[in-house]
Each structure stands twice: as structure tokens, then as C-alpha cells.
């Protein structure tokens, strides 16, 4: 007698939580396996027809199967076979559970690293904005000398407000948002203007103190030529 798989598939929805592993030829008696690999039996009654009564599902013990022919066959303990398979599946489930736990841990570590890198980039963007503002202020000397000073402040605030966007910027796989923020702010003020003001500041530092004469009239000669003239006049 062969196992009627089509009939088993038809009856399967009636036994939620079980798998049909045995079926009599008249489909009245059913052997079921639970999710925990335990065996159960159920017999359809004339009273309830094909309506399954859950309380009538009973555990099966001392199950054996005939291996071979009727005359020379050997009965095998199906309970032992099921237990062996269940133990193997349990070991596999444990291994899978451990792997899933490890995967979850690695995912958590990865998320922590992403968060740390994101926060680092945000701080680098803000630091670049502060650096640009400091260079602009240093080039100006004071607020009154700054061209587009108000625009620079507004732009700096806007860049910091968009720090999240700058934190996502990459070039060739490397973070470049901090440089983009710096370049953006300097473009508003004018990098050339900053460079020119720095150059002028350096020139002013190089002037000698004795090139300036307080109290002299506008018609007086100034600088080295004036000092030489005065020195010659004193010696005449």
C-alpha cells in the first residue's frame, strides 16, 4: 500500500500545526507529526464526518514500520528514527540560532560604527565652517571691514543647518563634506578677497615704525627722504 499524497494534501488544512505522515487506504485513520516531531493519530468518525475534533487527536507510542517484504521484512522502530531526526534538527536549530545571534551582534556593531562616523562627519563640517569664518574675520581685521559680512553669517548658519547633507558627501569613496562646506562659505565672501587682505596685512606688518610721523603737516616730506633732509639741515 502506497501513501496517497494527494489525499494527504487535501486533508492537511484540517490539521493545523501537524503534518500528515501516514494515511489509511480509506483515509479514515491519519498519522500526524507535530512541530516538535512527536507522533499522533486521528480517526474520522461517522458522527463528525471530516470535521476534526482536536480532543480526539491522541499521541502514538511504539510505532514501527515494515522494511522489506511481508516474509523477509524487518520492523523498524519509527519512534527511534523520529527521535534521531528530531535531535539532529534540534542541533541544527541551535546552530542557526547561534549564527543569527552573531549576525544580530555584528549588525548592532555596524550600526554603532555608522553612527559614530556620522557624528564625526557632522563635527568636521561644523569645524570647517568655524575655520572659514575665523579666516574671514582675520583677513578683515574687524567687522566693519568685512565685505558681505552679514551674508557670510547667514550662509554659515545655513551650512550648519544642512550638516546632515554635507555628512553624506563622498568623493572616490572618501568623505569630502567638510571641504565642501569650507569652499561653500569661502565662495560667498570671496577666497580671493581673503587672500588679498592677508597679503595687505603682511605688508602693513613690514612697515617700519619710523615711516610714520605724528604731528607733521601734509606738506612735510615723510619717510626716509624727509629724515635725511632734516639730518642735512641740522648739520649746515
pLDDT at 143: 46
pLDDT at 126: 94
* Distance (Å, whole) CA 133 – CA 189: 10
Q: How many CA atoms lie within 13 A of 210 on its CB side?
A: 5
pLDDT at 14: 92
Answering whether pTM is above 0.85, one says no
pLDDT along the chain (236 residues), means of 10: 81 91 86 84 89 90 63 64 79 88 93 94 94 78 54 82 92 93 82 66 61 49 52 52
* Continuous segment of H or E residues that includes residue 189: helix 177-189
* Distance (Å, whole) CA 108 – CA 127: 29
Instruction: Tell me which residue of 199, 79, 211 sits closest to 139, measured CA to CA.
Output: 199
Burial (CB < 10 A; 0-12, 13-18, 19+), residue 189, is buried
How many C-beta atoms surround the C-beta of residue 110 within 10 A? 10
Please name the residues in contact with 62: beta carbons below 8 A apart, sequence gap of 6 or more.
79
Place of cell 524487518: 74
The answer to whether the beta carbons of residues 37 and 22 sit under 8 Å apart is no
pLDDT at 38: 82
* Distance (Å, whole) CA 92 – CA 95: 5
Instruction: Tell me which residue of 115, 101, 130, 125 sits closest to 181, measured CA to CA.
Output: 125
Amino acid at each position: 500500500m502506497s501513501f496517497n499524497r494527494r489525499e494527504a494534501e487535501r486533508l492537511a488544512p484540517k490539521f493545523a500545526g501537524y503534518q500528515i505522515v501516514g494515511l489509511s487506504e480509506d483515509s479514515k485513520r491519519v498519522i500526524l507529526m507535530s512541530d516538535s516531531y512527536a507522533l499522533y493519530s486521528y480517526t474520522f468518525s461517522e458522527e463528525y464526518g471530516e470535521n476534526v475534533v482536536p480532543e480526539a487527536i491522541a499521541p502514538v507510542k511504539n510505532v514501527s514500520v515494515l522494511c522489506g517484504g511481508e516474509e523477509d521484512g524487518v520492523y523498524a522502530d519509527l519512534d527511534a528514527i523520529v527521535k534521531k531526526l528530531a535531535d539532529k534538527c534540534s542541533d541544527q536549530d541551535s546552530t542557526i540560532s547561534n549564527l543569527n545571534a552573531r549576525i544580530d551582534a555584528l549588525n548592532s556593531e555596524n550600526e554603532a560604527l555608522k553612527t559614530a562616523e556620522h557624528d564625526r562627519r557632522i563635527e568636521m563640517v561644523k569645524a570647517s565652517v568655524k575655520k572659514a569664518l575665523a579666516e574671514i574675520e582675520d583677513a578683515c581685521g574687524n567687522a566693519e571691514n568685512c565685505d558681505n559680512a552679514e551674508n557670510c553669517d547667514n550662509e554659515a548658519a545655513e551650512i550648519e543647518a544642512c550638516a546632515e547633507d554635507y555628512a553624506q558627501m563622498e568623493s572616490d569613496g572618501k568623505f569630502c563634506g567638510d571641504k565642501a562646506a569650507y569652499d561653500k562659505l569661502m565662495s560667498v565672501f570671496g577666497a580671493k578677497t581673503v587672500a588679498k587682505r592677508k597679503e595687505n596685512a603682511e605688508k602693513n606688518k613690514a612697515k617700519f615704525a619710523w615711516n610714520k610721523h605724528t604731528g607733521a603737516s601734509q606738506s612735510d616730506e615723510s619717510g626716509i627722504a624727509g629724515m635725511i633732509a632734516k639730518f642735512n639741515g641740522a648739520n649746515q
